């Protein structure tokens, strides 16, 4: 079953620059009850892998998300994903 919603990525104050800042990824379904617990990525490389390999976010969307996350901006983008995929990622 496909679920439509939004992914929110934000830079957390958990972590330190030399250890890789923590980035929190949450999925907000358009229908249903609020977000599931967030997934934490440590550093931009881990965030790139998670978004690209697990959620299949690519190209300009991925580049812009990483750029804005690094700057400390919250980034939201639409995502349509399989329920099993979201469960494997811990986002539902």
**Calpha distance 40→60 (Å, rounded):** 22
Spatial separation of the C-alpha atoms in residues 72 and 17, rounded to whole Å = 12
For residue range 7-28, list pLDDT tens digits in order. 999 998 776 666 678 999 999 9
Residues recorded for the chain: 92
**What is residue 35's predicted lDDT score, i.e. its pLDDT?**
60
What is the reported pTM? 0.88
Interacting residues of 61 by C-beta distance below 8 A, sequence separation 6+ = 77
Supply the pLDDT for residue 7. 94
Ranges under pLDDT 50 in the chain:
none
């Amino acid at each position: 079953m496909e679920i439509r919603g939004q992914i929110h990525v934000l830079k957390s104050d958990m972590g330190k620059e030399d250890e890789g800042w923590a980035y929190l990824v949450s999925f907000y379904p358009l229908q249903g009850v609020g977000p599931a617990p967030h997934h934490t990525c440590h550093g931009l490389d881990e965030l790139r892998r998670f978004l690209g390999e697990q959620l299949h976010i690519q190209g300009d969307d991925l580049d812009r998300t990483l750029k804005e996350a690094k700057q400390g901006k919250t980034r939201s983008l639409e995502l349509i994903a399989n329920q099993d995929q979201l469960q494997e990622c811990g986002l539902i």
